[in-house]
Amino acid sequence: MSIFNNRNFHETSNLASDIDILTHRYNWILKPIIQEFKNKSVLELGSHNGRFTFACLKMGVSNVLGIEQDTEMIYKAKQSLSDFQNFKFIQGDIEKTLPQIEEKFDIVLCMGVLYYLDCQEVLLQCRKRCKRLMIVDSFVNRELVPSLRFLQNCLCESGFNYTTLDVPNDFLGYGKKRFALHCRPIIPLF
C-alpha cells in the first residue's frame, strides 16, 4: 500500500501529483534510507501541498520546516497534515528566506525545486544548514534545467559528497529524465 494512500494530494494539486509517481519517488529515494529520518529535523524547500512533508512525518521525523511561496498550497498542506502538529511552513521565496534561517537541520529536502532556483547559491545556503543529509531530485527536459553534471559540480563546490541513485527501470517520471542524489556534507555540522 502507498504511503500516500488516503490523502488528498492528488486532488489538491495538478503538479505531478499522481499517487503512483509520488509513490515511485518515495520508494526510490526515501524508503531505502528510512532509518535515517527517525527523530530527525527536516528543512524542506518547495513543500507545495505537503506531500513530502507528510512522508517525512510518517517516517517519524521530529519536525519539518517547509518553505513555499504559494499561499494556497500551504493552506492545502495544512489541511492534509491535520493529524500532525510537528510541522511549520514559511510562506516566501526560498532564495530570500533561506539566508535568514539560523537554525540547522539534520536533513534538507530539495525535491522537485532546484530548477526554479539559482542552483549554486541555494546549495551553498543549504550546506550552511544541513547537518547530515540532503536529498535532491530533479529532472532534465529543457535547456534551463540544470543537468546532472552541472548539479554534481555545484554539489562539490558547495561542500557535499553525493551518491547518484540508479533510476529504477520501471520509473518513467512523466516521461522526463529524473535523477536523484543522496548528498552528505563533507564536514558534518553539529
Ligand X SMILES: C[S@@+](CC[C@H](N)C(=O)[O-])C[C@H]1O[C@@H](n2cnc3c(N)ncnc32)[C@H](O)[C@@H]1O
Tell me which residues touch ligand X (CB under 6 A).
15-16, 46, 48, 51-52, 67-70, 73, 93-95, 111-113, 116-117
Edge-to-edge strands of the sheet including 41-45? 87-91, 63-68, 41-45, 105-111, 130-140, 177-185, 160-164
Q: Shortest Cβ distance from residue 142 to ligand X (Å)?
A: 14
Query: Hey, which residues does 183 pair with through a beta bridge?
Result: 134, 162
Q: Shortest Cβ distance from residue 111 to ligand X (Å)?
A: 4
Q: Shortest Cβ distance from residue 190 to ligand X (Å)?
A: 27
In the bound state with ligand X, the residue whose beta carbon lies nearer, of 75 and 188, is: 75
Distance, in Å, from the CA atom of 112 to the CA atom of 13, rounded to the nearest integer, reads 14
Q: Shortest Cβ distance from residue 138 to ligand X (Å)?
A: 9
In the bound state with ligand X, the residue whose beta carbon lies nearer, of 10 and 187, is: 10
Separation of CA 51 from chain center? 10
Q: Shortest Cβ distance from residue 47 to ligand X (Å)?
A: 6
Separation of CA 78 from chain center? 17
Q: Give the position of cell 547559491.
A: 121
In the bound state with ligand X, the residue whose beta carbon lies nearer, of 67 and 134, is: 67
Grid cell, residue 62, equals 521530529
In the bound state with ligand X, the residue whose beta carbon lies nearer, of 92 and 188, is: 92
Closest C-alpha among 76, 20, 27 to residue 47 = 76
